[in-house]
Structure 1
Amino acid sequence: MSALRLSLAIGDYDRIRPLVDGNVRIDGVDPAFSILDPEEIFFRAFKYADFDICELSLSSYTVKTANGDCPYVAVPVFPSRAFRHTSVYIRTDRGIAKPEDLRGKRVGVPEYQLTANVWVRAILEEYGVKPADITWVRGGYEHPGREEKIALRLPADVRLESLPAGATISSALADGTIDAVIGPRAPSCFERGHPQVGRLWSDPVAAASEWYGKHRIFPIMHVLGIRKDVAEQHRYLPGALVKAFEEAKSFALARLSNTAATKVTLPFVEERLQHARALMGEDFWSYGLEANRAGIDTFLAAHHAQGLSSRRLAPEDLFHPASLESFRL
């Protein structure tokens, strides 16, 4: 029997490269890979269901799953994870020295429901800063006119505005129209070294490490989804994907751990890898539901409390049942 020819859209990560390069195979599948930026994948997936298999925003997927209108079903493979203490950029001339100082401020977001923003709002709540304490201003980072890709029904006390026509998040932060930015990317004004733009947490690695020590959560950003009609037609596929992506991650970590010659263009990779394992354990980028149940449930609670999901989902609600089981010898 010939292998299934399925489209698979995903970002360019070391942990999926063994699949793209053919070093790891997906049982019964001949994938046609599209290596794309996540924003393009999410737009095409949620608007047109363009791909058979693809990376999905955890937040957008949760919104659609809670509403019962998601064209995809996920498996517990997490292509992207990140500590989001790196994701808050501030005007340094507005008296913002700590999270509590964001109360009453105007904060730019590319989309309100982005996964990174859900996690940051959950962190801010630990400092007593609620979503209603901030005026949220939506717009494109570098290109004007970006809108929410998912329709939202936010709580009445959440103030969400749009930038004026022609304005961008980066330009608004640079000219002081907004006081801060929360999002998955650094605005270009920060990258260019604007003298009055900085990070809320000046040492985000230390802040994130402390947060991890308290919560034992490595925030999940993205999941892997299968279009529901494809999953229904090929019942073995969810389990086959988990198996293959696990193998690919192990392959990538073995490469990264081989310190005879550095595999990435960055000094001190070995030391950062040792630090991550000392802080988080050997399997610091774990797949599977049980290893990530607490983190997923924390996210789902925050997502619902922030008014993004119409009902409080349980972690099991996100994943195809066949992806939660595997054989044992």
Structure 2
Amino acid sequence: MSNLNLSLAMGDYDRTRPIYDGRVKIDGVDPVCMLLSPEEMFFRAFRHQAFDISELSLSSYSISVARGEPHYVAVPIFLSRAFRHTSIYIRTDKGISTPADLRGRRIGIAEYQLSANVWVRGILKDEYGLGAEDIVWVRGGMNTAGRPEKIKVDLPPNVKVEEAPQGATLNAMLAAGEIDGFIGPRAPLCYDEEHPHVGRLFTDSIGAAEDYFRRTAIFPIMHVLGVRRRLADEHPWLPGALLKAFTRSKAMSDAALADTSATKVTMPFVEDNLRRARNLMGNDIWSYGVDQNRKVLETFLGYHYEQGLSPRKVDVNELFHPATLESFSL
């Protein structure tokens, strides 16, 4: 029997590179790999189901599951994770110095449903008592005007979302002081260009994230791996094969990161930062699998429902193919 020839869209990460370059094989699959940006992958996957296997936004995927119309089924491979204390940008000349100062402000977002934005809103609510209804959300493209939501969302009436003016970008609005801040997974260009009045809300974002993890044990999940549901039904071995291969691929990247005889990443202090992270989070700092991430996923799904993105609260096990919820042991 010949292998399945399947399209595979994913980001260009150290944890995916052994799949892309062929050092790690997927049992029964000859993948046609495409290394794409999250924006392109997710738009094509959710609008057109363009790939057989794809990295997916956890938030947009959760919407599809909650509505009972998922074209993909997830495998507990979390290709993107991040502490989102880095994701809140503010005008530093508008009297904003604490999260409480965001109340009543106009804050730009590229999409309400972005996983990063779900986490930020959840953290603002849990840690600082600031609900989604306490901010006016201004939705639009970051650097190009007119960005749509990948999946149409129906939000509660108390959540205030304005559309950015026609032809305007959130970056230009922030630079001009027409909005008070921006929340998202990418930094706005005006921040990268060191605009004198644009900064982060959390100036010590590493310290804030470390404190958050010590208290919650949560390392936020952004993206999952999804396989076309029809393919998983036809080939029930496929989700398990993906879990096996991507786990092996990440193990190779972990080993390479720890080998600092000649660092594998273009960054100084790798060994010190790796030791700092492992002292805080344990040796498996970027874990895959459901059981070891159940609290993180339950927290996210709770936020998702509370913020009006899910019409019902999704159970963690609903997200994943049954074959990936357990594994064999020797």
Deviation at 1:91, TM superposition (A): 0.1
Q: TM-score, length-normalised on structure 2? A: 0.99
Partner of 2:116: 116
- Listed one character per residue, the Cα deviations across residues 241-264 of structure 1 (whole Å, up to 9, x for unaligned) are 111111000011111111110101
CA distance in 1, matches of 2:114, 2:240: 28
Deviation at 1:186, TM superposition (A): 0.2
Contact 1:20–1:33 (Cα < 8 Å) also in 2: yes
Work out the CA distance in 2 between the residues paired with 1:27 and 1:300. Answer: 31
Residue identity in the other structure for 1:206? G
Aligned to 1:7: 7
The code of the aligned residue for 1:51 comes to F
Look up the match of 1:278.
279
SS at match of 1:108: strand
| RMSD after superposition | 0.6
The SS at the match of 2:194 is coil
Cα distance per residue 1:64-86 (max 9 Å; x no partner): 11001110000100000000000
Determine the C-alpha separation between the residues in 1 that align with 2:6 and 2:255. 28
1:28 maps to what in 2? 28
State the partner residue of 1:162: 163
Q: Where do 1:1-329 residues align within 5 Å?
A: 1-125=1-125, 126-329=127-330
SS at match of 2:308: coil
Aligned-partner Cα distance in 2 for 1:315–1:275: 30
Output the CA distance in 1 between the equivalents of 2:231 and 2:51: 10
Q: Which amino acid aligns with 1:296?
A: L
Shift of 1:224: 0.2
* Cα separation, 2, equivalents of 1:33 and 1:273: 29
Gaps of 5+ in 2: none
- Using the TM superposition, give the Cα deviation of residue 153 of structure 1 relative to its aligned residue in structure 2, in angstroms: 1.1
Aligned-partner SS, 2:199: strand
- Alignment deviations for residues 150-194 of structure 1 (CA, whole Å, 9 cap, x no partner): 111111111101111111111010001100000000000000000
Q: How many residues align?
A: 329
Q: Aligned partners of 2:229, 2:277: CA distance in 1, in Å?
A: 36
Tell me the secondary structure at the aligned position of residue 299 of structure 1: helix
Q: After superposition, what is the alpha-carbon deviation per residue over 1:121-156, rounded to whole angstroms, capped at 9, x for unaligned?
A: 011112011111110000111000001111111111
Is contact 1:239–1:325 with CA below 8 Å preserved after alignment? no
Residue identity opposite 2:45 in structure 1: A
CA distance in structure 2 between the aligned counterparts of 1:52 and 1:323, rounded to whole angstroms: 18
In structure 1, list runs of 5 or more residues that go unmatched. none
Q: Which one-letter code corresponds to 1:138 in the other structure?
A: R
Q: Distance in 2 between matches of 1:309 and 1:272?
A: 37
Tell me the CA shift for residue 294 of structure 1: 0.3
Distance 1:148 1:210 in 2: 33
Which residue identity lines up with residue 49 of structure 1 in the other structure?
Q
Amino acid at match of 1:36: L
Deviations 1:25-82 (A, max 9, x none): 1111110000000110000000110000000000000011100111000010000000
Q: In the alignment, is the contact (CA less than 8 A) between 1:304 and 1:310 conserved in 2?
A: yes
Q: Give 3-state SS (helix, strand or coil) of 2:146's partner.
A: coil
